[in-house]
Amino acid sequence: MLGRETSILEFNRRVLAQALRHDVPLLERLRYICIVSSNIDEFFEVRFADYLEASRLPNAGVTDADVQAITAEAHRLIDEQYTAFNDQVMPLLQRAGIVILNHADRDEAQREWVDQFFQKQVRPLLVPIGLDPSHPFPLVANKALNFIVRLGGKDAFGRENTIAIVKVPRVLPRVIRLPDALVPGKQGFVLLTSVIRAHLGELFPGRAVETFSQFRVTRDSDLEVDEDDVKNLRQALRSGLSSRHFGQAIRLEVVSSCPPELSEFLLEQFDLPEQALYQVNGPVNLVRLNQLIEQVNDRSVLPSLRFAPHEGAWPAKGLPRDQSIFARLRRGDVLLHHPFESFDPVVQFLRESVNDSAVLAIKQTIYRTGSESPLMDLLIEAARKGKEVMVVVELKARFDEEANINWAERLEAVGAQVVYGVVGLKTHAKLLLVTRREVSASGSASGNPNATARLRRYAHLSTGNYNPKTARLYTDVGYLTADADLTADVDAVFQQLASLGKMKPLRQMLQAPFTMQRRLIHTIDRVADAARAGQPARIIVKINALTDPMLINALVRASQAGADIDLIVRGACVLRPGVPGATDRIRVRSVVGRFLEHTRVMYFRWGPGEEDEVLYLSSADWMSRNMLRRIEVAWPIRDAELRQRVIDECLVPYLHDRRDAWMLNSDGSFARIGTNGVSAQQALVRRYRPAADAPSPAPGS
């Protein structure tokens, strides 16, 4: 199998390739560079930190040579990123009239403005620290921007301490726009690092600044809590958040001009080996250039520097705006394909539930909602109105812990029942269940509504998070249903998460960590049996990652049996395709486009009839953690029309993508399939955009 860490870096190389495409709008090319920086930060904070820890264990299977190989690959990727930034994107931005002015580039008027900005907005917040025995090296937070300075001369007390550290407060903007009058006909920006660099001497009066460098340290940021040894998980995580920023140092970034004596000093302070040093040709945190993208006014620039605006369409055919969603679901299920279709129907479903006096109870899982969420506000309103509200909040959703803790506390404050899933397992399933008391017409006529009242369940299941912002950027499928079997399964999952009791086998859904992996392997083997018997045998799986050995072995067996297998894997994939006699019938492709591919779809066929196929939607990737250490669900689409729609929109276009798709080779490298053909995402944007409103799509959209 291929290496997972290498596969993650290869995915980021595919993202970086978007920044090199001339058919992608310029600011979007810069945004891809920022995305790569953010992804690499998380790689070091989580994946590489775990990899280093494994290398210290005797039987973990990770050697020092493995660590050095991954480190070398990370160095290559980051060098490629800065080359793209300096040699491709920045010159094109300048040509478009968007300039980042260094101190040497600024004229007298610009320098005067920058000086005033520094004196009024920056200098009062800076506290330079000269190092000596009573001023030890400060505790540097994860990913915080700092300067290290070597000083000449003596301090105010006649001593020759030479090293000083300047912390840059996070509250300061990293990109500052100059007044238009100072850059006629252009849009001018200065970086905060350039502002501070130009005024370093003022921070050390009477001393000479001999050399200096920006630096940033990346730390292990996985929040570790021994759940078997805590009484209140929320309180334990709350207390742990304060120490997250000061975990073990993993990577040190400095600018390429940093003198060796300063970088060596920093490596010693952070107890890092030489290979952990990354000398970059530019700002040490390219993520912050998102602030430049946000401030650029591209209305005066042609062609447009951004993708054409995209608003998901309301599914008017499947869900008329003027009709109750409950009434519509009593006639059949509704499928929502985001971001091509709007996330608003999900919010409207919850809003209608909150305002409907017949709705008695609402249950929902929360994984990543963000610090602002209309859905959370509606749940709070429902609890205030006296409805029974139960929320399963996953406190350990990485980097969303604080927001989720805050929502949990607000929900509890208004009387909602809040639980935190199961000890040792993350609740990653995306479920919303509404229970409504409904009265038949005969009951209303008799004057005794309770005689014929019954409780009916309605549910929303999703492959993605309950986050309206990311629903505009990620591809996902949502499913609204009143199906009695499926909603009973959803209710059973909520009951189990609350009571921790054993439950009967689910009617339709697969659930991790209980049945999902085993049932998927059984289905794959069923396809393999069909292939051996000469029957149609087909597997198409669209997921974000494929690393689970048990599922990979099952796919290899199916390939050897003659099954035809296509895997659409956005990120890490350790299965090696195209190996003769093993995986030569398996093809793996990855699609990287305007939207982040996030949909999980699994299609299996083991014969010629309609009864010989099944299609599941799921919240789970094919990773061991999803199968064995998380609460996940997968559910079948039994409606033939909706099942065909998922095939036509989520699978077929991606198998024919000739613009944004890459093919995985047996050596672990990826090759772009094409650049001028059809884009699956672009085709779906066109499909859902009303013809009368459809402008020409932006290149690469």
Q: Give catalytic residue positions.
A: 428
Beta strand extents in 502-600 (DSSP E only): 510-512, 538-543, 564-569, 586-591, 596-597
Structural tokens at position 668? 């672990």
Residue 604, beta-bridge partner list: 539, 614
Q: Distance between CA 455 and CA 261 in Å, rounded?
A: 73
**Residues 440, 446: contact at Cβ < 8 Å?**
no
Determine the distance from the C-alpha atom of residue 243 to the mean position of all C-alpha atoms in its chain, rounded to a whole number. 23
**Residues 165, 144: contact at Cβ < 8 Å?**
no
Q: State which amino acid sits at residue 560.
A: Q
Structural tokens at position 218? 């990346």
Name 533's Cβ contacts closer than 8 Å, sequence gap at least 6: none
Beta strand extents in 493-592 (DSSP E only): 510-512, 538-543, 564-569, 586-591
Cα four-point dihedral sign 46, 625, 587, 657? negative
**Residues 193, 288: contact at Cβ < 8 Å?**
no
Residue 549 CA: distances (Å) to CA of 2, 17, 54, 525, 552: 11, 29, 18, 15, 5
Q: Distance between CA 525 and CA 534 in Å, rounded?
A: 14
Closest CA to 130 of 147, 118, 145: 147
Q: What interhelical angle do 4-18 and 26-42 show, nearest 10?
A: 160
Q: Distance between CA 42 and CA 51 in Å, rounded?
A: 13
**Residues 334, 328: contact at Cβ < 8 Å?**
yes
Q: Distance between CA 94 and CA 258 in Å, rounded?
A: 26
Q: Distance between CA 504 and CA 11 in Å, rounded?
A: 40
Q: Distance between CA 454 and CA 171 in Å, rounded?
A: 55
Q: Distance between CA 247 and CA 452 in Å, rounded?
A: 61
DSSP 77-135: HHHHHHHIIIIIIHHHHHHTTEEE--GGG--HHHHHHHHHHIIIIIGGG--EEE-BTTB
Helix (H/G/I), strand (E/B), else coil: 228: helix
DSSP 33-79: HHHHHHHHHHIIIIIIHHHHHHHTSTTSS--HHHHHHHHHHHHHHHH
Determine the distance from the C-alpha atom of residue 498 to the mean position of all C-alpha atoms in its chain, rounded to a whole number. 28
Q: Distance between CA 124 and CA 653 in Å, rounded?
A: 56
Structural tokens at position 313? 């369409």
Beta strand extents in 379-517 (DSSP E only): 388-393, 417-419, 426-427, 430-438, 454-462, 474-481, 510-512
Determine the distance from the C-alpha atom of residue 224 to the mean position of all C-alpha atoms in its chain, rounded to a whole number. 20
Q: How many helices (H) and strands (E) does the chain have?
A: 23, 27
**Residues 431, 244: contact at Cβ < 8 Å?**
no
**Residues 146, 213: contact at Cβ < 8 Å?**
no
